[in-house]
């Protein structure tokens, strides 16, 4: 875990200079979901998602950009790890809100979904402040909470992204007891079903600090990918987050929104030399 701690040194230096700007950049990912009630609301929702997709720098908008190549490199590194250990389900999280975990999860899922082989599923498991539903244009009437609380079939809640092998499970309604739902037997059964149907399952989870939700979700996944937002997290933040989860599952970190990578590191927290 030393590589993650060293990456934080650069983040902590930039936090005092870019804290306000960094928080604003990701603010649109923390909006509360709205239920669709008619044609006008559907049109407004669609336009909002298109704007959010552009602001989030979703890779499909520019397949040849340097940002897209970075996500492809991240996918390749994860595939390399898979040669040495089982790695079907990966949880994407951060210590604090606003560090870019949802943007990272969405782009990484799209990267996997564009592969010629293997099916991918992206799950928004943030039942408090979900963000994935703001990105994808089409959305079913049921989401994760409905799957866990009601008699809803998985296929009825999945969004299939055109021209990819990616399916998305979003959050539609906010439940009253999110922690209890994520710790339920139904959630365990759902993860088992997802891992039996998909080659890669990416979980966009809540931030670690202040909530028990992510600790529960880590136990259901094979690995954890940490997103460290420049100008947001401090070394103390990440160290506190790592004490709350099974840190042995952490496979690396994405150093997000930094103009300059930490010395000796790529954007993914691995040494260049």
Give the model confidence (pLDDT) of 183-214 as tens digits.
Answer: 999 999 999 999 999 999 999 999 999 889 99
At 126-177, the pLDDT tens digits run 999 999 988 887 778 899 999 999 989 999 999 999 889 999 999 999 999 9
Mean pLDDT on 48-67: 55
* Domain locations in the chain as residue ranges: 2-256
Helix ranges restricted to H, the chain:
2-25, 39-55, 66-82, 101-113, 144-149, 154-157, 178-182, 185-197, 213-218, 235-243
Q: Classify the phi-psi angles of 163: left when phi > 0, otherwise alpha if psi is within -120 to 50, otherwise beta.
A: left
Has residue 87 got a pLDDT over 60?
yes
Has residue 18 got a pLDDT over 70?
no
pLDDT computed for residue 171 by the predictor: 94
Is 2-256 assigned to CATH 3.40.190.10? no
| pTM of the entire predicted model | 0.75
Quote the mean pLDDT of the chain: 78
pLDDT computed for residue 139 by the predictor: 73
């Amino acid at each position: 875990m030393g590589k993650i701690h060293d990456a934080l040194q650069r983040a902590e230096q930039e936090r005092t200079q870019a804290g306000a700007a960094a928080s604003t950049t990701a603010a649109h990912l923390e909006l509360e979901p709205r239920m669709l009630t008619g044609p006008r609301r559907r049109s407004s929702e669609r336009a909002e998602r298109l704007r959010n997709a552009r602001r989030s720098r979703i890779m499909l908008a520019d397949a040849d950009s340097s940002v897209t190549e970075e996500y492809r490199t991240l996918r390749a590194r994860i595939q390399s790890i898979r040669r040495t250990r089982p790695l079907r389900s990966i949880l994407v999280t951060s210590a604090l809100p606003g560090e870019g975990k949802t943007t990272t999860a969405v782009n990484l899922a799209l990267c996997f979904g564009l592969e010629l082989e293997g099916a991918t599923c992206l799950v928004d498991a943030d039942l408090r402040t979900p963000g994935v539903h703001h990105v994808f244009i089409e959305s079913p009437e049921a989401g994760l909470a409905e799957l866990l609380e009601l008699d809803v079939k998985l296929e009825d809640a999945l969004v299939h992204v055109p021209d990819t092998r990616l399916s998305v499970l979003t959050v539609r309604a906010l439940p009253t007891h999110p922690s209890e739902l994520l710790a339920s037997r139904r959630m365990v059964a759902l993860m088992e079903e997802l891992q039996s149907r998909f080659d890669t399952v990416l979980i966009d989870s809540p931030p670690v600090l202040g909530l028990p939700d992510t600790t529960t979700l880590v136990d259901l996944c094979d690995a954890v990918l940490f997103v460290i937002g420049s100008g947001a997290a401090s070394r103390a933040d990440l160290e506190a987050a790592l004490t709350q989860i099974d840190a042995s599952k952490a496979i690396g970190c994405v150093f997000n929104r930094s103009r300059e990578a930490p010395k000796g590191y790529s954007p993914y927290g691995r040494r260049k030399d």
